[in-house]
Chains A and B, each alone.
Chain A
Amino acid sequence: MGKRKAVVSLRECVACGCCMKVCPRGAISIPKGIHAEINEELCVGCGKCAKECPAGIITLEVAEQ
Chain B
Amino acid sequence: MKQKKKWYDFLWIFSLTYLILGFFNILFAWLGLLCFFIPLIIAIAKGNKAYCNKYCGRGQLFSLIEGRFGLSRRKDIPKWMKSKYFRYGFLIFFFLMFFLMLWNTYLVFAGTKSLSTAVTLLWTFKLPWHQAYHGTVFSEGVAQFAFGFYSVMLTSTVLGFLTMVLFKPRSWCVYCPMGTMTQLICKARNVTSSQK
Contacts and interface: CB of A to CB of B under 8 A. Distances in A.
Interface of A: 12, 14-18, 20-21, 24-26, 30-34, 51-57
Contacts of A33: 43, 47-50, 182-183, 185-186
A14 B180 contact: yes
Contacts, number: 81
Contact of A54 (B3, B168, B186): B168
A14 B82 contact: yes
Q: Chain B interface secondary structure, helix, strand, loop or mixed?
A: helix
A54 B171 contact: yes
B43 A16 contact: no
A16 to B, nearest CB: 4
Contacts of B187: 34
Q: Classify chain B: how many residues form its interface, as a range.
A: 20 to 34
A32 to B, nearest CB: 5
A15 B49 contact: yes
